[in-house]
A and B are shown apart, each in its own frame.
Chain A
Amino acid sequence: MSSTAQTAGLDLAERLAAARPAPGLWATGLVAAIVWLVAASIILGLPDADDLGRTEELAGAAALIGGVILAATLLIGRLPSGPEALSTRIRAGGPWLIVLPLALIAWELVTAKLDWLPRPFFAAPQSILEVFTDDWARLGESVLRSLILVVPGYLLGAALGFVTGVAMGWSRLVGYWVHPVIRLIGPLPATAWLPVAFFAFSTSRGASTFLIALASGFPVAVLTWSGVASVGKSYYDVARTMGASPWFLVRKVAVPAAMPSVFVGLFMGLGASFSVLVVAEMMGVRAGIGWYLQWAQGWAAYANMYAALLVMAVMCSSAVSLLFRVRDRLLSWQKGLVRW
């Protein structure tokens, strides 16, 4: 007993020593590769508690990931290093590459292998993989339908909200008439319009676009307005003394000065439009990822539901990443931007 403990202790000490940055060898990556391979052997080696498909494929995927990380461990020393280099980014992700396969092992054990969690409410990892391998066409189509629905609606709402916000911030007259309307209607959740929208518009597509535009337009309008309203008077004075026209003041002073605030509105509007999208697809539109979710739940196809949730998470996160990319590019003059 004591000798095993000693060996384990020694083993740990060795691993800790190896974890220190040594040129050429990436210790964290090595550990990660091993854990992925262990995950693969557990998935393949232990028998499933029930008849599940795609167990071999899941093991294969885990082994493949382990292999790729192993290759990266050997090659990473030859890649150029630096704060923005690929190798640095891979190294930074090292701890995640260890924790992910550990989580996969735990999930696999409590569902597929030991059957501790009640199925079908808790799906095994291979069942979710099975959804992707067998139902990818329908999932892909759903994503596409959702994007076709949400993108025009969001862009329309953002554009209208932006113009409204600039006009409110700039013109006292517009502010006088629009402010009370925005104040009353704006905080109303866009989904509350759902019953109205579906009989006011002849198509569910028109209704959904209206709702999504409404949901994204409100935060964009309010934050653009507040951004324009808070531009310092001296910024205008400087340009005015140099002969700037009112139109120049709007385009070249008010709008750029308000941009940081506008992007907060665009971010909030994006979240709101996704939430309206999903509700609209569950209630009226008979396509899209929200509909898929509802449909899967109706058939008690819980693995499909989880897969759809995962796809939706990736979709929303990518949209936010894209927005932040645009912002980083446009607002590179700002200090201390939060990285998404």
Chain B
Amino acid sequence: MVSKAGSIGIEGVSHAFELRGRTLPVLDGIDFTVAPGEFVALLGPSGCGKSTLLRLVAGLEPPRAGRILVDDEPVAGPDPSRIIMFQDPTLYPWRTVRANAQLGLEARGQLKGQGARVDEALSLVGLENFAGAYPHELSGGMAQRAALARALVNDPRVLMLDEPLGKLDSLTRLQMQRELSRLWEREGFTVLLVTHDVEEALLLADRVLVLSDRPARILADIAVDEARPRHRDSPRLIALRREILELLGLAEAA
């Protein structure tokens, strides 16, 4: 049986941007692997290059140095088995929620006879009653759910989340964290989550990779050995939180 989840191998990946004629290094010799079905959080200060790493794994850009393997195959370009979800929902405003959700099927010419799959994805995120709504009629949380449905329709083996909850209010955020966790347990895909919220990383992930300031290097690879469902005030998570904040040079805040 083919596993529903993909493995990821990052081997000595470095990357840089050209900014007004200057070379700006963003990633510096990143090495790590992710097992199929694992939930890994990339945690680091804003602008450290975490999102760039996701774009490289998604195949939207090639790395300047090093290799990226998914299921032991080098990444050559974007592929629907690796779906990325951004901080902004980036729904197409001229499409209804349903038409947005079916984007991937449509782009690959697989739409025929797959309507049920779109409905299933919409009900998975609780938007079955908003299929005909336009994005401007949705709240921030609903828009992110629609974006999630759009990702799920593609049956991704790797789901990359680029601070998808970063712009939501704190209550919606808590709710969405619970739902993401539930979805991952149910669907079993591999998740790479980029976040700068220590608590969010500890609540959701199996492992937390702590990244340094730009150019990003891996400071620590911390296994979150706490059973689910997790509570933010569990002593183990509080201890891990303190450890991570110290790594990031924010010991006083802990």
Interface residues of A (CB under 8 A from B): 232, 234-235, 237-245, 248, 252-253, 256-257, 259, 331, 333-335
Q: A333-B134, A333-B136 are in contact. Are A239 and B103 (CB under 8 A)?
A: yes
- Docked-complex contact A241 and B78, CB < 8 angstroms: yes
Interchain residue pairs with CB less than 8 A apart (15): A237-B86, A239-B103, A240-B78, A241-B58, A241-B80, A241-B84, A242-B78, A242-B80, A242-B104, A242-B107, A242-B108, A245-B107, A331-B94, A333-B95, A333-B134
User: Within 8 Å of chain A (Cβ to Cβ): is B93?
Assistant: yes
- Docked-complex contact B92 and A243, CB < 8 angstroms: no
B81 to chain A, nearest CB (A): 9
Q: A238-B150, A242-B108, A252-B106 are in contact. List 18 more A-B contacts (CB 8 A).
A: A235-B90, A237-B86, A238-B86, A238-B90, A239-B103, A240-B60, A241-B58, A241-B78, A242-B80, A243-B79, A243-B80, A243-B104, A244-B107, A248-B106, A252-B107, A257-B94, A333-B95, A334-B93
Chain A: interface secondary structure?
helix
For residue B106, which residues in chain A have a CB less than 8 angstroms away from its CB? 248, 252
- Docked-complex contact A239 and B60, CB < 8 angstroms: no
For residue B60, which residues in chain A have a CB less than 8 angstroms away from its CB? 237, 240-241
- Name, among A237, A241, A253, A333, the residue most crowded by chain B CB atoms within 10 Å (CB to CB): A241
Q: Which of B59, B94, B107 meets A239, CB within 8 Å? A: B107
For residue A259, which residues in chain B have a CB less than 8 angstroms away from its CB? 94
- Name, among A232, A239, A259, the residue most crowded by chain B CB atoms within 10 Å (CB to CB): A239
Give the CA-CA distance A152 to B83 in the complex, in Å: 46
Give the CA-CA distance A252 to B111 in the complex, in Å: 14
- Docked-complex contact A253 and B92, CB < 8 angstroms: yes
**Residue of B at shortest CB range from A253?**
B92
Give the CA-CA distance A259 to B136 in the complex, in Å: 17
Give the CA-CA distance A235 to B60 in the complex, in Å: 13
**Residue of A at shortest CB range from B105?**
A242
Q: How many residues of B contact A (CB 8 A)?
A: 27
Interface residues of B (CB under 8 A from A): 55, 58-60, 78-80, 82-84, 86, 88, 90, 92-95, 103-104, 106-108, 134-136, 150, 154
For residue A239, which residues in chain B have a CB less than 8 angstroms away from its CB? 103, 107
For residue A232, which residues in chain B have a CB less than 8 angstroms away from its CB? 90
- Docked-complex contact A257 and B92, CB < 8 angstroms: yes
Q: Which of A238, A241, A245, A333 meets B94, CB within 8 Å? A: A333
- Docked-complex contact B92 and A248, CB < 8 angstroms: no
Give the CA-CA distance A235 to B93 in the complex, in Å: 10
A198 to chain B, nearest CB (A): 43
Give the CA-CA distance A289 to B135 in the complex, in Å: 46
**Residue of A at shortest CB range from B58?**
A241
Q: A239-B107, A243-B107, A333-B136 are in contact. Are A234 and B79 (CB under 8 A)?
A: no
For residue B150, which residues in chain A have a CB less than 8 angstroms away from its CB? 238
- Docked-complex contact B104 and A256, CB < 8 angstroms: no
Give the CA-CA distance A239 to B60 in the complex, in Å: 11
A240 to chain B, nearest CB (A): 5
For residue A334, which residues in chain B have a CB less than 8 angstroms away from its CB? 93, 136
For residue A331, which residues in chain B have a CB less than 8 angstroms away from its CB? 94
Give the CA-CA distance A235 to B91 in the complex, in Å: 8
**Residue of A at shortest CB range from B83?**
A241
Give the CA-CA distance A331 to B94 in the complex, in Å: 7
Give the CA-CA distance A242 to B150 in the complex, in Å: 10
Q: A243-B80, A243-B108, A333-B93 are in contact. Are A238 and B136 (CB under 8 A)?
A: no
- Docked-complex contact A238 and B103, CB < 8 angstroms: yes
- Docked-complex contact B94 and A248, CB < 8 angstroms: no
For residue B55, which residues in chain A have a CB less than 8 angstroms away from its CB? 237
B188 to chain A, nearest CB (A): 20
For residue B78, which residues in chain A have a CB less than 8 angstroms away from its CB? 240-243
Q: Which of B86, B104, B134 meets A234, CB within 8 Å? A: B86
**Residue of B at shortest CB range from A330?**
B94
B200 to chain A, nearest CB (A): 22
- Docked-complex contact A234 and B92, CB < 8 angstroms: no
- Docked-complex contact B94 and A242, CB < 8 angstroms: no
B17 to chain A, nearest CB (A): 14
**Residue of B at shortest CB range from A232?**
B90
- Docked-complex contact A234 and B94, CB < 8 angstroms: no
B212 to chain A, nearest CB (A): 26
- Name, among A239, A240, A242, A248, the residue most crowded by chain B CB atoms within 10 Å (CB to CB): A242
Give the CA-CA distance A253 to B80 in the complex, in Å: 17
For residue A237, which residues in chain B have a CB less than 8 angstroms away from its CB? 55, 60, 84, 86, 90
Give the CA-CA distance A239 to B91 in the complex, in Å: 10
Give the CA-CA distance A84 to B134 in the complex, in Å: 22
